[in-house]
Amino acid sequence: MEKATEEKRLNQYLAHAGVASRRHCENLILRGRVTVDGEVVRELGTRVHTGQTVAVDGQELQGEILVYWILNKPQGYLCTNHDPSQRPLAGDFMTHVKERLFLVGRLDEDSEGLLLFTNDGSLAQKITHPRFGVEKVYHCQVAGFLKREEMAKLEKGVWSSEGRMQAKRVRPMKRQGESLWLEITLCEGKNREIRRMLAALGHKVLKLKRVSIGPIRMDRLPKGKSRRLKPNEVAQLQRVFSKPKAPGH
């Protein structure tokens, strides 16, 4: 793993290094207990970057180690940090990870499949930004049978009150009773996009599962289980962002 290279606010840097909560870290700064490159810093807006030496009470910090985890989210879990109704959260499966994590690639409560967790904020933003066109692949069970022209319409684009929604690719997989399994590839992933596109064509989604984000595949990871990405998987993910793509490509 490599150390973070992006610039951070000092209180954020301290919190991510495991010193304390951001609020408590602010108190440490105001009390003059934090130094940057040997100088006491009391300004809360101070920003630090890789290469600078940060210390608390004279003890040098090692900075933040970037970590990357994937989770196979089961149905019935929310992708949020807090729910007033105290429903189960996807993050409940990640309490064994000591680093503070960003959730990348949200799934609605009724969907399941691949989620990515990381403290690499730069990478998290790139994965979700349309400019990079990162492909997300879903397996979707649909009530009834879609005609070829309906699949073509999903690729061409479907309009709703919230704008145009479009799949990059739609491929039939297999029939199951009175339903059809589709493989659907998206490059943006608006809120409940697949469900809303198919509803616009008169089809109900029975089951929806994300199986990959860019080069990262869930494969046989059991539901509710997580694993750390291997170094070669992280390298593959980083390469996706070496050549930004235009939206729609």
Quote the tokens at residue 221. Answer: 């990871």
Which residues are bridge partners to 62 per DSSP?
none
Is 108 one of the catalytic residues? yes
- Residue 193 tokens read as 């996009």
Query: What is the C-alpha R_g of the chain?
Result: 21
Q: Which residues of 222-239 are buried (b: 16+ CB within 10 A; e: fewer)?
A: eeeebeebeeebbeebee
Alpha helices in the chain (DSSP H): 10-16, 22-30, 121-128, 148-156, 193-200, 231-239
Helix (H, G, I), strand (E, B) or coil at 202: coil
The one catalytic residue in 57, 83, 92, 108 is 108
Q: Residues with catalytic annotation?
A: 108
